[in-house]
Chain A
């Protein structure tokens, strides 16, 4: 029962919307799948929507940070969007600040953020 999180491609952006409570294996699979898709598609942006996630623990937090780092190495900028207030407050208390991960309030803002960083040339081609 190795369910996988779907990765959608829109233009040169990969969109991941996490809709269910993730098992650890799915988290690790996602990291692997996403790296592969970035390479295969030449995507230059990744948006991870976590608005459906009721909790983010240190394991998932670490995954988000490493996805951001990996995709940056592969030439794509990652934006994590839709974090719920209760989740943000819990992560702060937990001692996690997701430094190095771009965030935005929602999908629209997230794509705007990618577009902006493209315009400012902060993503290597």
Chain B
């Protein structure tokens, strides 16, 4: 722990020099953000932060793990989150905190206050790292939210005819997407009482063994539920890759176009005739 005298001294200095320090701090930070945030916006953030920091030093000394730093941390969390969302880099975000060191250095870093300055510098380093951490976490959240949205967006299941549903697949098929597509498709079989499903892969750029595997699983799962599944939209290049890679589609029906697949499904439905159960009982 630090001795109380030093943090008291820091608090005194920071309180006394508040106007000068925050002014320089805001100017320093604003200049690195190249006009993407106005001085007024920066000033509001930093003033609050400065007040919270002085308060934390008064109550908790320089131990940043202390709960006295709760307010500082929550302000920094908000600041980092906003910066991350606005597209600022981690360095730019951390600099919002670290710039205070540059401001205080000339005022504190010589003579009697050098020790106090070093301790404060350590506090600011800690807080700077914290902003980077929050920044990274926010980006991760954004990425996973986007990935989820993409999953939702890219897999509409549509009713094509009575008893026939279709999924036009667009983009690359990985196992996470396959699971979502599969689940939606299979659920729609139940909901729409559909005995035929068409998976159209016109929008899938490439079919490798793994994609083929995913398609196969979908067909087998549909079959186990009692529906027939046809793969359509196999472009000539894809047909060539499938053969070149030696991918076995087994007894799965494939068609060149969605129209062919729909015709096939309708023929099959006609062949089977309507579901009549009366006569059997």
Chain A positions within 8 Å of B, measured between CB atoms, are 10-11, 13, 79-81, 83, 85-86, 88-89, 91-93, 97-98, 103-106, 108-116, 118
Contact = CB atoms under 8 A, between A and B. Distances in A.
Contacts of B277: 108, 111-112, 115
Interface residues of B, number: 27
Contacts of B131: none
Interface of A is mostly: helix
Nearest to B277: A111
Nearest to B193: A105
Contacts of A97: 220, 223-224
B34 interface: no
Interface in B249-281: 272-273, 275-277, 279-281
Given A114-B280, A115-B276, A109 B186 contact: no
A103 B223 contact: yes
Given A92-B217, A112-B275, A98 B227 contact: no
Contact of A98 (B190, B195, B224): B224
10 contacts: A79-B226, A85-B183, A85-B186, A91-B224, A97-B220, A106-B226, A111-B275, A112-B276, A116-B272, A116-B273
B2 interface: no
B186 A115 contact: no
Contact of A104 (B183, B217, B226): B226
B15 interface: no
Nearest to B186: A85
Contacts of A118: 280
B280 A85 contact: no
Contact of A85 (B187, B193, B217, B281): B187
B226 A81 contact: yes
Interface in B185-227: 186-187, 189-190, 193-195, 217, 220-227
Contacts of B276: 112, 115
B221 A89 contact: yes
